[in-house]
Amino acid sequence: MNSKPQRVSDILTRFNPLEDKYISREFQAYGIYLAENLGDYKHRSLYIRLAKTVPRAILEKALNFVKDSNARSKARLFMWKVAKLRRGEE
């Protein structure tokens, strides 16, 4: 994945109404995308909430950081990086 934020039109072209029938907003789709990339589908509601409340740039930076790392727990590293970015430490 590149470091550019995704365009809404790109997400909507991948939206399948039969498969994604419970997803009605863009931030919900992005939250599911985060959960799948981090291998933490069990906590998808947490990622949907983050996608709704946290600026997308912070989430993209944290996701790219996690993808570049070789962590055992990608979800934990992601949450740590989001917290640091929200505090403005990086």
Residue recorded with tokens 């992005």 = 30
**C-alpha distance from residue 55 to each of 10, 19, 20, 25, 59 (Å):** 19, 27, 24, 16, 7
How far is residue 58's CA from residue 56's CA, in Å, rounded to a whole number?
5
Domain extent listing, the chain? 11-87
Q: What is the pLDDT of residues 50-74, one digit of tens each?
A: 999 999 999 999 999 999 999 899 9
The answer to whether residue 9 scores a pLDDT higher than 90 is: no
The answer to whether residue 6 scores a pLDDT higher than 80 is: no
pLDDT category of residue 46 using cuts at 50, 70 and 90? very high
pLDDT of residue 1: 47
